[in-house]
Amino acid sequence: MRSSYDTPSVITIPRRGLMLVLSSPSGAGKSTIARNLLESDPTFALSVSVTTRKKRASEIEGVHYHFVTPAEFERLRSSDALLEWAEVHGNLYGTPREPAELAMRAGRDMLFDIDWQGARQLQEKAKADIVSVFILPPSMQELKARLLRRAEDSRDTIATRMKNAKLEIERWSDYDYVVVNDDLDRAFQAVRSIVAAERLRRDRRPGLFDFVSSLLSEEGEGLAVGTSETVR
Ligand code: ADP
Ligand code: 5GP
């Protein structure tokens, strides 16, 4: 659980961590938004998934993914080491259980860049802690243009991802929030606003009970207000 309100100048009410799930069709910009969020808000920890997909040129083992063989993935899956897993665009992806559970127990906020199948599994396991955001592209043309501009996948891979994009977009209504990523800055600010509001939810802040009782039990000189004079 996060800090306390015993410093006189900054009042921070202890709260539970939240699990922010970002999903989108490939190329809509969720990894870019996730990266900006992690850079601007160090309270977030990123859940680094395991995958059987081939590493892209720009990716680093252990930072973007843990790249594993299908046999290693199967070993993790069958030993219950994955909190959720799914097949996406012909590859296997999964969320390692231990880091996510440790971070949540420590009251940290956790960011998950996972698809709709994974989002659904997390919703079933930790409904109260999940905040889910679906990122939409401004148009299918622009989605394709972004996948081509990213220039990290083969033409065949991009074709598969475009074919799957419509099926993924159809899941938009499973999510708590939907953000259209036309202008990156605006989309990023929208996600930040969602996070700021969700952190303030009453049911995520058990520390409010103690804070309110300390407010109500506060005594001292100058608290009483006379009734005979007008208070301005
Ligand atoms: P995803 O993680 O959803 O597959 P990425 O974050 O990798 O998508 O973004 C795909 C490409 O589109 C990247 O090259 C990224 O720089 C670019 N991009 C992201 N958001 C925008 C935007 N609002 N306008 C233009 N290009 C964008
Ligand atoms: P990419 O290959 O572009 O990195 O990711 C392809 C898709 O797999 C994206 O929709 C991404 O969110 C999803 N994905 C990445 N990691 C996981 C994971 O651990 N679980 C699930 N269910 N999906 C994931």
Domains in the chain and their CATH numbers? 19-199 (3.40.50.300)
Query: How many angstroms is it from 153 CA to the middle of ligand 1?
Result: 13
Its sign, for the CA torsion 207, 45, 170, 89, is negative
Show pLDDT as tens, one digit a residue, over the chain (232 residues).
444 544 456 888 888 899 999 999 999 999 999 999 999 999 999 999 999 999 999 999 999 999 999 999 999 999 999 999 999 999 999 999 999 988 888 889 999 999 999 999 999 999 999 999 999 999 999 999 999 999 888 999 999 999 999 999 999 999 999 999 999 999 999 999 999 999 999 999 999 999 999 999 998 777 877 666 554 5
Q: Which residues contact 217 (CB under 8 A, 6 or more apart)?
A: none
This prediction has a pTM of 0.91
Q: Write phi, then psi, for 91 (nearest 5 degrees).
A: -120, 160
Helix axes 184-199, 30-40, angle to 10 degrees: 60
pLDDT of residue 230: 55
pLDDT of residue 228: 60
199 lines ligand 2 (CB under 6 A): no
150 lines ligand 1 (CB under 6 A): yes
Query: How many angstroms is it from 115 CA to the middle of ligand 2?
Result: 5
Query: Exposure of 200 by Cβ count < 10 A (0-12 exposed, 13-18 middle, 19+ buried)?
Result: exposed
With beta carbons less than 8 A apart as the criterion, state whether 51 and 65 touch.
Answer: yes
133 lines ligand 1 (CB under 6 A): no
Its sign, for the CA torsion 206, 208, 211, 215, is negative
pLDDT of residue 176: 98
Pocket test for ligand 1, best of 46, 64, 112, 150 (most atoms within 8 A of CB): 150
64 lines ligand 1 (CB under 6 A): no
